[in-house]
Structure 1
Amino acid sequence: MTDTRSQIGSIYTCEVENCCLCLIVSCYYFSTNYLTWSESRDECGQKGGDLVQIDSREEQLKLREKMNFDEDKFWIGLTDSEKEGTWLWVDGSPLNESLTFWNGSEPDNWTGYDPDDADCVRMGEKAGAPDLKCWFDESCKYTQRRICEKPAETGHFTLQCV
C-alpha cells in the first residue's frame, strides 16, 4: 500500500509504504534549484517549513533513500555559524552528538575555497557514504539543493492492513 499526500499544493510530499498504523509527523520537499544555505532557509520558510532537522537514524535512512547519491547534495538545517564547533539545528536545539552522520574526518572546517569557514551542513557525496555517514560541513555561500521539512498539519494516520 502506498498513501501519498501533498501539502501546500504539490510542494511537500508525505509518503507511507507498507504500513498498518502510521503517523506522518513531517513532510519533505527536495528542491531542484540551487541556493546558498541562507537563501535555502528563506525559501523553505516562504513555503511554511525550514531546512530539515534530522532527529533519528530512521529519518536519515528515509532521506538518503530518496536521494540519488551519484549526483544529489542537499543543504540540511545544521550550522555552527554562531560559535565554531557548536552545531545547532535551525530551531536552536543542539546537535545530539550520539546521533550524527559525519563522513570520515568531518566536520573539518576546510577553507580551501572560502576563507570564511565551512559553517553549514550538506548531506550527500558523489561516491556514496558508508553506514549513512554523508554529512559534510561546507561554506554557507556555496549553492546546493535543499531538503525542506514541514510539520504535518495535524499528524496523519493511515490504517490499512493486508
Structure 2
Amino acid sequence: MVPEEEAQDRGEHSSSQLSKLREYQQYHPSLTCVMEGKDIEDWSCCPSPWTSFQSSCYFISTGIQENCSVMGADLVVINTREEQDFIIQNLKRNSSYFLGLSDPGGRRHWQWVDQTPYNENVTFWHSGEPNNLDERCAIINFRSSEEWGWNDIHCHVPQKSICKMKKIYI
C-alpha cells in the first residue's frame, strides 16, 4: 500500500471503531479499554466497573438478584481453576453468589446457561455437595473449613450474582 492508502485505511478503521464503540455505549455508557498486542487496532474493552480476565468481563453484584441479561451478559460459567481463582479474589466471604449452573429436572444433569458441556473434572463443589435433588441452582460461597466452593441451593432463595460477558473488541 502507498502511504495515502494506508492513511485512508486507518481512517476508515478508526471510523468503524468509533461506530462500534457508540453502539456498545448505548448499553454500557462507560467502557474501560486496553490495547492488546502491538497493533493500535487491537483494543479490548469491558464495561465500567466490570473486571477483565482473559477474554471475558465479570460483574460481581453488590445487590440481591441482579439481572445479568439486562446488562447483555449471563450468569457466570466457570471453565477452569484459574477462572475460579480469579473470581473468588473479588467476592465477599459473607455473601453467596449465583452461578450459571442449574439442574432443571432435579436428576443431577447439571447444565450451564451458555450450553457449555458440564465437565465433572472441572467442578469446585464443597465436599458433600450437591446434596439435595430439590436444590436445582448453584452458588459459590465461603465455608471456613473448606474455603470457596459450590453448593446446590433452591433457586428462589435470593442471592447475589456473578455476571460474565465476552470482552468487546474494537
TM-score past 0.5 threshold? yes
Flag structure 1 segments of 5+ consecutive residues without an equivalent: 16-23, 111-116, 156-162
Of all paired residues, the percent bearing the same amino acid is 33
Summarize deviations over 1:12-54 as a string: whole Å, max 9, x none: 2226xxxxxxxx300000001112xxxx5xx101101100000
What's the counterpart of residue 61 of structure 1?
A: 85
Does structure 2 retain, via aligned residues, the 8 Å contact 1:87–1:94?
no
What's the counterpart of residue 71 of structure 2?
A: 47
Summarize deviations over 1:113-150 as a string: whole Å, max 9, x none: xxxx10000001242624x5x10000000000000001
CA-CA distance at 1:66 after TM superposition: 1.3
What's the counterpart of residue 58 of structure 2?
A: 28
1:65-144 equivalences in 2 (<5 Å): 65-69=89-93, 71-82=94-105, 84-109=107-132, 117-127=134-144, 129-130=146-147, 132=148, 134-144=149-159
Change (3 A) 1:90 1:128: farther
* TM-score using structure 2 length: 0.68
What's the counterpart of residue 153 of structure 1?
A: 168
CA distance in 1, matches of 2:90, 2:145: 13
Flag structure 2 segments of 5+ consecutive residues without an equivalent: 1-31, 34-44
Correspondence 1:13 to 2:51: yes
CA distance in 2, matches of 1:65, 1:72: 13
Does structure 1 retain, via aligned residues, the 8 Å contact 2:106–2:136?
no
* TM-score using structure 1 length: 0.71
CA-CA distance at 1:94 after TM superposition: 2.7
Change (3 A) 1:128 1:13: farther
CA distance in 2, matches of 1:128, 1:149: 28
CA distance in 2, matches of 1:92, 1:136: 20
Structure showing the higher helix proportion among its residues: 2
Runs of 4+ deviating beyond 4 Å = none
Q: Secondary structure at 2:142's aligned position in 1?
A: coil
